[in-house]
Amino acid sequence: MNRSEELQAYVAGLFAAEDAVLAEIRREHRSLGLPDIAISAEEGRVLQVLLRAAGARRVLEVGTLGGYSGIWIARALGEGGRLTTIEIDREFAAVARQSFERAGLSDRVEVLEGQALDILPLLEPGFDAIFLDADKEPLVEYYHCSLALLKLGGLLLCDNAFFNGRVVDLADRRPDIEGVRAFNRMAATDPRLLATVLPVRDGLLIGVKLAE
């Protein structure tokens, strides 16, 4: 380990240890062969601090996968809080429901199955926070839907702002990478949003909605 990795491990050890439930769920998702793209515990803790600071009670996630990130999020919600999470893959959604059950969070999490772009326009606006962590090509469309669904002062959070470093490899113009770039540009330049990227894991974009 170099010094920077050592410091990262130091912080993770102090602040972002998984409990037994999260560790077991991560192991189980690996053994089920789910894609190894869930957030890290460090990122989970960052989400929790932000959600608590915002007093978030009503949160939306796009891209449930097996529910690992959803557990971090749902645990950070205030009294009476509710997480709505959208997953396109039927089997991932089933795994996620089991994960929420196992974590004792079923009563505060709703998994909606289907295409995010079909579901988002049907949701009631006024979310305290939205976490985008799904497919990358439609990210600008997710951006517009999210701004419409967030309350003033709400948090926009988006995973994979670095997309494995590929965002700065300008020769690479694949549509998913272009989706991440376009999203980051929107978030950086839209006067309705105050945003930045935290260099946590694969880059976590965080923003506050300032205006309608």
> Residues interacting with Mg ion, by CB under 5 A?
133, 159-160
Nearer to ligand DHB, 58 or 201 (CB): 201
Burial of 157 (C-beta count, 10 Å sphere; 0-12/13-18/19+): buried
E-only strand ranges, 27-174:
58-62, 82-87, 109-113, 127-132, 150-159
Residue 102-141 contact track with ligand DHB, rule CB under 6 A, x = bound: -------------------------------x--x-----
Extract the tokens encoding 161.
């702002």
Nearer to Mg ion, 125 or 129 (CB): 129
Partner touching 136 among ligand DHB, Mg ion, none, CB below 5 to 8 Å by kind? ligand DHB
Q: Is 129 left (phi over 0), alpha (psi -120 to 50) or beta?
A: beta
Nearer to Mg ion, 28 or 176 (CB): 176
Q: How far is the CB of 159 from Mg ion (least distance, A)?
A: 4
Return the residues of window 50-109 that contact ligand DHB according to CB under 6 A. Answer: none
The verdict on 37 binding ligand DHB (CB under 6 A) reads: yes
d(CA 120, CA 88): 12
The verdict on 29 binding ligand DHB (CB under 6 A) reads: no
E-only strand ranges, the chain:
58-62, 82-87, 109-113, 127-132, 150-159, 193-198, 204-209
d(CA 36, CA 24): 15
Q: How far is the CB of 37 from Mg ion (least distance, A)?
A: 5
The verdict on 169 binding ligand DHB (CB under 6 A) reads: no
Q: Which of 140, 107, 115, 98 is nearest to 62 (CA)?
A: 115
Partner touching 190 among ligand DHB, Mg ion, none, CB below 5 to 8 Å by kind? none
The verdict on 159 binding ligand DHB (CB under 6 A) reads: yes
Residue that has been written with the tokens 């965002």 in this structure: 167
Q: How far is the CB of 160 from Mg ion (least distance, A)?
A: 4
Nearer to ligand DHB, 81 or 161 (CB): 161
Q: Which amino acid is at 146?
A: S
Which residues would be at the binding site for ligand DHB (CB under 6 A)? 37, 133, 136, 159-160, 202
